[in-house]
Amino acid sequence: MSVDEARGLVYCPTGSASADFYGGDRIGKNLFANSLICLDARTGKRVWHFQFVHHDLWDRDLPAPPNLLTIRRNGQEIPAVSQTTKSGHVFVFNRVTGEPLFPIEERPYPSSDLAGESAWPTQPLPTKPAPFARQVFSFDIINDLSPDTLPDLQNQFVRIKPHIPFTPPSEQGTIIFPGYDGGGEWGGQAVDPNGILYVNSNEMPWILTMINAAEGDTNGERVYLQMCATCHGIDRSGTQIQGSPVPPVTLAALKEKQLDRQALSEKIQKGAGIMPPFGFLSSNDFNAVLNFLLKNGGGPTSENQNSNNEIVYVHTGYNRWKDAHGYPAVKPPWGTLNAINLNTGDYVWKTTLGEYPELIERGIPPTGTENYGGPIITAGGVLFIGASLDEQFRAFDMKTGKELFRYKLPAGAYSTPATYSVDGRQFIVTASGGGKMGTKNGDAYIAFALPH
C-alpha cells in the first residue's frame, strides 16, 4: 500500500480472485479483485477505485505498491498515483479524483472455450505510456539463438493456442506473456520528483494448460500402462522388483512426498535407482503421463474446485517455457530496465538488465535475464539494482541508462536495495540471498559506499 499522509488517503492494490485460472464459479467482473482502491485513511470509506483486469484468469494480481508522484502539465502540478502491472503497463491517475491522466480504453478480447467459464469480453489498457514489455508472442519471435532447439520450440508453438493478450486458459495450452512474474513484478518501482518512473521487467513466456479433471486422460493412461505399470502397478500402488520395493505413484503418495509437477517431471526425465530415464518420450506423451499422474484430485492445484467441492478444471502448474538449454523460448530481451517520463508518457531510456556470460562470449549482445527485486534511486542521480540472474549488483546513470558500475555478488540479490547514511557518508545495502531459478543460495548483506 501507499499513503498520502497530507491528504489522509491510502492506496491499496489487490490480488486476483480465487481460484487463479478457472472462474466458472465466480462469473462476473469480480470487483474488487485486481483493483487499485483509494480509501479515506481515517474512516476506511472508499473514495475511488479502478479495476485493471476483469474476471482475472491469468494470475494478474497487482504485483507491487503504487507510486505517488507529481505530474506537471501545462504549468500545472497534478498529484498522481501510478500503478504498474504484471502485463507490463503503467496506469497513471489523479490521486484525488481517480481520473486517468492518459486515456484508458476498454478493448475486446477472446472468449473462453472451457465448460462453465465466461471470460469478460473487454479489458482496459492505457493508450500511453507504451507497455514496458512485449505483448504478443508471435511465431517470428521464437528464440533462434540455438539452431538445435529451434525446431522443437516451433513444433510446440504450433500445437498451443496462437497468442494474443488475454487469451483465456485452455486445454490446448495458452501462452502467458509476459509471464506470471511480470512484466512488472513485486520488487516495486522507483519514481523521482520530476515524474520519471524506473521499472525493471521480465519477458519470459509461460504455458498454462488446463485439464478437465472429470474426464480421464486416455493418452496418459496408455503411456502409463505401457511404460510404468510393470514396476509401479496397474493401480499405481507400487510393487516389488527383484526383491526391492517400487514406490506407489498414486496421487495420495505423490502428495505425501510433496512431489509437484516439477519434481515429478525431473524424476521421470532422469530416472532413479533401477527406474530408467524417460527423457526419450515425446513431449506429448511426457506431458500426458504427468497429467495422468496429477489429475483426479488436482495434485498441486486442488484449489481449483467449484462451489460443490467438485473439481472441474485443474491446471498443470507454473511452467516457464524454455528451450533445452534453459533459455526463454522467446527472442531477447528477457529482462529490461526502463525509465518512463510520466509527465509525457514517453520513454527516457530502456536497457537490458543482466546477461549470460556464455552468450556474450558468442558475440551476442546482452540479452537481459529474468529479474526479481526492484531499483532504488538517489539524489545523486544514480540508480542501484541487483535482481538479475547473473548475480551482479549494478549502478546506472538515471539520466542516460548507462551502466556505471557492477559488482559480482556472492549470490543473486533478488530483492530491492536500501540506502542509509552514517556520519554523512551514504551507503547502499543489498541482501545477497540467492536461490532463484537454480542460482546458488547465499546469506550475506553487502554494503557499498563511495571511497572516503
**Site size for ligand HEC (CB under 6 A):** 20
Could you tell me if 254 and 293 are in contact, meaning their C-beta atoms sit under 8 angstroms apart? yes
Residue 264 binds to ligand HEC (criterion: CB under 6 A): yes
Backbone φ and ψ for 360, nearest 5 degrees, come out as: -60, -40
Q: Which stretch binds ligand HEC (CB under 6 A): 176-184, 268-276, 356-364, 438-446?
A: 268-276
Stretch that binds ligand HEC, among 101-109, 186-194, 259-267, 340-348 (CB under 6 A): 259-267
Nearer to ligand HEC, 180 or 286 (CB): 286
d(CA 223, CA 221): 5
Among 125, 153, 228, 312, binds ligand HEC (CB under 6 A): 228
b/e string for 161-196 if b means 16 or more Cβ within 10 A? bebebbbbbbeebbbbbbbbbbbbbbbbbbbbeebb
Q: Which is nearer to ligand HEC, 3 or 281 (CB)?
A: 281
Output the smallest distance, CB 253 to ligand HEC, in A: 6
Residue span binding ligand HEC (CB under 6 A) among the ranges 36-44, 78-86, 225-233, 309-317: 225-233
Q: Is 133 in the site for ligand HEC (CB under 6 A)?
A: no
d(CA 23, CA 35): 17
Give the residue, chosen from 267, 320, 322, 350, that forms a contact with ligand HEC under the rule CB under 6 A: 267
Kindly state whether residue 239 participates in binding ligand HEC, applying the rule CB under 6 A.
no
Could you say whether residue 270 binds ligand HEC (CB under 6 A)? no
Residue type, 173: G
**Residues shown for the chain:** 452
- The CB-of-319 to ligand HEC minimum distance in angstroms stands at 17
CB 265, min distance to ligand HEC, A: 9
Told to check if 275 binds ligand HEC by CB under 6 A, we report yes
Residue 8 CB contacts under 8 Å (≥ 6 apart), including other chains: 40, 41, 42
Q: Which stretch binds ligand HEC (CB under 6 A): 9-17, 116-124, 157-165, 257-265?
A: 257-265
Binding mask 287-326 for ligand HEC (x = CB under 6 A): --x-------------------------------------
Does 257 help bind ligand HEC (rule: CB under 6 A)?
A: yes
- Amino acid at position 62, single letter: L
> From the list 12, 197, 249, 329, which residue makes contact with ligand HEC (rule: CB under 6 A)?
249
Which region, judged by CB under 6 A, interacts with ligand HEC, from 62-70, 239-247, 374-382, 424-432?
239-247
Which among 214-222, 246-254, 322-330, 378-386 is the span making contact with ligand HEC, rule CB under 6 A? 246-254
Q: How far is the CB of 248 from ligand HEC (least distance, A)?
A: 7
Given a contact cutoff of 8 angstroms between Cβ atoms, the answer to whether 433 and 400 are in contact is no
Cα gap 203→208, rounded to integer Å: 16
Identify which of residues 298 and 373 has a Cβ nearer to ligand HEC in the complex.
Answer: 298
The interface region with ligand HEC, picked from 9-17, 92-100, 264-272, 366-374 by CB under 6 A, is 264-272
364 scored as a contact of ligand HEC (CB under 6 A): no
- Beta carbon of residue 258, minimum distance to ligand HEC (angstroms, whole number): 10
Closest separation between CB of residue 260 and ligand HEC, Å? 11
Q: What are the residues whose beta carbons fall under 8 Å from the beta carbon of 340, sequence distance 6 or more?
A: 90, 129, 132, 196, 197, 199, 346, 347, 348
Choice between 247 and 401, CB closer to ligand HEC:
247
CB distance 341 to 70 below 8 Å:
no
Is there binding between residue 273 and ligand HEC (CB under 6 A)? Answer: yes
By the 10 Å C-beta count (0-12 exposed, 13-18 middle, 19+ buried), 89 is classed as buried
Nearest to 163 by CA among 88, 109, 118, 212: 109
* Cα-Cα-Cα-Cα dihedral sign, residues 245, 250, 256, 261: positive
How crowded is residue 197: how many other Cβ atoms within 10 Å of its Cβ?
A: 22
The nearer residue to ligand HEC, 76 or 244, going by C-beta atoms, is: 244
Yes or no: say if 373 and 354 are a contact pair by the CB < 8 Å rule. Answer: no
Q: How many CA atoms lie within 13 A of 174 on its CB side?
A: 28
234 binds ligand HEC (CB under 6 A): no
CA–CA gap between residue 135 and residue 166 (Å, rounded): 10
**Cβ distance to ligand HEC smaller for residue 111 or 282:** 282
Cα separation of 51 and 435, whole Å?
Answer: 34
The contact set with ligand HEC (CB under 6 A) reads: 227-228, 230-232, 241, 246-247, 249, 257, 259, 264, 267-268, 272-275, 278, 289
